[in-house]
Amino acid sequence: MTKDNKSVEKLKNALLSLLLLTTLNSDIDKQFDYSKYNGTKLPPASGVSIQNACLSYIIDKDEFKTNSYYSKQMDEKLNAINKYIKKKLNSDKKIIKLFNIFVKKYIEK
């Protein structure tokens, strides 16, 4: 993947994070033992602001492993997020439904 593609991928991940965090509030669990997540709930986001949380909520796992902020707990959190995505967003129909909820939420505001 080229550097340009990585930048676009980060933007797409940030937007996906925003969509998940703002549309699926009821699916966010507050527990921090990420190894217990089975894909039915999302782990809580973390960061000093919504922008920071969105830019770090779903990240390139391989790139992150070389980062000084890498930890086993963060790795488990990424696995929990990916389990949720694989389980809850595994068809075009589910993705379109979620996107429509997100768009409707912002059009109403």
Sign of the Cα torsion 75, 102, 49, 16 reads positive
Sign of the Cα torsion 20, 45, 6, 71 reads negative
The predicted structure's pLDDT at residue 1: 59
The predicted structure's pLDDT at residue 64: 81
Domain count, the chain: 1
Q: What is the pLDDT along the chain (109 residues), one digit of tens a residue?
A: 566 688 899 899 999 999 999 898 889 998 889 999 999 999 998 888 989 889 888 888 788 888 887 888 888 999 999 999 999 999 999 999 999 999 998 887 6
Tokens linked to 100: 């429509």
Range of the domain at 73: 3-108
